[in-house]
Structure 1
Amino acid sequence: MRIPKAAHTAQPWRIHEFTHDFKIEDVWSFRAPGAGPDDFLVMLNALRTAYDNRKDPAPVRFLFAVRWKLGALLGWDAPRAGLGGRVVSLRDRLPHDLAQTATHAAPCTDPFTEVYQLDNEAARELANKTVHDIMHLGWVPSGDGAYELRMAALVKPNGLFGRLYMAAIAPFRYLIVYPALTRQWERAWLDLGRPHRHAVQTAGREAGNADS
């Protein structure tokens, strides 16, 4: 579900410290029924597993196939247009404590690169000829005693070309890509995250009973 941008800025995320030159493009929430405050890493692991086994809907596959084909033909995704080429990685801005947290795991979708990962938030980045994009994931109370995942897309378009590109793909993001992503990520929690959490809790209770 798409939510106001203020839902991102109101949280005390570390990402705010070094992304003042990025624009908040989108903020979405993803349900995780039964999740608790310590389940953020469980959710990230569920997303990683779901990505490895995902089956995107046909419209999403078509859109990304067109995008990657155009990128290959026009050089949008060439190394010189990406991280370490056209732009400097966000990792170069990190304070020392955050710089040590990267796990080099992939919590969600490629071709993003991990920036940092904490117990309640993580950031990944992507850069090409059109934009430098930060995907921020955060874990917050949902108001019903559970927790939810929130994703914020922070962008720095590459000049007029980048701004026109972002405007052109906006309808496809809102009507096709994000709704499909919402279904995939919420299903990942139900299929992979919540069962894992239950197994861990059960093992903990059994260990406690054995010690008593």
Structure 2
Amino acid sequence: MRLPLTAHTGRPWRIHGLAPDFRTEDVWAFRTPGAGPGDFGVMLDAMRAGGGFARQSRANRFLFVVRWKLGALLGWDRPDTGLGTRVRSLRERLPRELAETVDATAPDRLPLTPVYRLEDEDVRELANRTVHTLMHLGWVPTGNGGHELRMAVLVKPNGLLGRCYLLLIAPFRHLIVYPALTRQWEQAWRDRRQLLAGDTGPVG
């Protein structure tokens, strides 16, 4: 479910003080019935165990293939356009206690690089020629005594190209990508026991 931007900006997340030059682009909520305050790690691990590319919807897989082919053609994803080259990693801004919460060099099943992880926050980043993106996952109490997952996408566009790119992909994100991601992640929560019982790979 799509939420107003204030659902993210109005909460006291650590990311606000670390990335004031990024703007909040999207905020999305994922239902996790029966979740408690200590289940954030369980949710993250279930997402990774059940979130591979092969389990994406056909529409999502098609969009990502088109994006990768277009990026290869136009040079959007070359190594010199990403983290540590075109832009500095957000990890360079972290105090030591946050930097030590993740190993950014460890293998992972998600395509974004870990930045930090707390009991109720997980931040990852990705950069290319068009944009520097942060994915912020938060664990938020709900009015019924439970908790839910929220995702905020924070962006820093790379000039006119980045701004045009974000405008171009916005309808696809809102109508195809995020709804499919909602179904996948909410299903991962429902299947968490089965997924985690059979998951022996790294989870970041």
TM-score, normalising length: structure 2: 0.91
- Cα deviations by residue, 1:53-82 (Å, 9 ceiling, x for unpaired): 752111111110000001111110011000
| Matched AA of 2:94 | L
Alignment-derived partner of residue 176 in structure 1: 176
Q: Give, in angstroms, the shift of residue 137 of structure 1.
A: 0.4
- Cα deviations by residue, 1:27-51 (Å, 9 ceiling, x for unpaired): 0000100000000000010011012
Segments of structure 1 that go 5 or more residues without pairing to the other structure are 197-212
Distance 1:195 1:164, change over 3 A: closer
Pairing 1:46-85 to 2, within 5 Å after superposition: 46-52=46-52, 54-85=54-85
Q: Give, in angstroms, the shift of residue 10 of structure 1.
A: 1.6
| Matched AA of 1:176 | I
Alignment-derived partner of residue 10 in structure 1: 10
| Matched AA of 1:26 | D
Could you say what secondary structure the match of 2:145 adopts?
coil
Pairing 1:90-129 to 2, within 5 Å after superposition: 90-104=90-104, 110-129=110-129
Distance 1:166 1:133, change over 3 A: same
How many Å separate the matches in 1 of 2:60 and 2:169?
Answer: 13
How many Å separate the matches in 2 of 1:83 and 1:23?
Answer: 18
Distance 1:86 1:138, change over 3 A: same
- Please say if residues 188 and 195 of structure 2, whose CA atoms lie closer than 8 Å, have aligned partners that are also in contact: no
How many Å separate the matches in 1 of 2:152 and 2:107?
Answer: 17
Q: Give, in angstroms, the shift of residue 161 of structure 1.
A: 0.6
- Cα deviations by residue, 1:87-112 (Å, 9 ceiling, x for unpaired): 000000011211111144678x6320
- Cα deviations by residue, 1:98-129 (Å, 9 ceiling, x for unpaired): 1111144678x632000000111010000000
Segments of structure 2 that go 5 or more residues without pairing to the other structure are 197-204
Q: Give, in angstroms, the shift of residue 52 of structure 1.
A: 3.7
Could you say what secondary structure the match of 2:181 adopts?
helix
- Please say if residues 42 and 193 of structure 1, whose CA atoms lie closer than 8 Å, have aligned partners that are also in contact: no
Alignment-derived partner of residue 132 in structure 2: 132
Identify which range, 109-118 or 52-61, moves more after superposition.
52-61
Q: Give, in angstroms, the shift of residue 11 of structure 1.
A: 1.3
1:27 correspondence with 2:17: no
- Please say if residues 43 and 193 of structure 1, whose CA atoms lie closer than 8 Å, have aligned partners that are also in contact: no
Could you say what secondary structure the match of 1:85 adopts?
coil
How many Å separate the matches in 1 of 2:194 and 2:20?
Answer: 35
**Which portions of structure 1, spanning 4 or more consecutive aligned residues, are displaced by more than 6 angstroms?**
none
- Cα deviations by residue, 1:145-200 (Å, 9 ceiling, x for unpaired): 1100000000000000100000000000000000000000000000115986xxxx
Aligned residues: 196
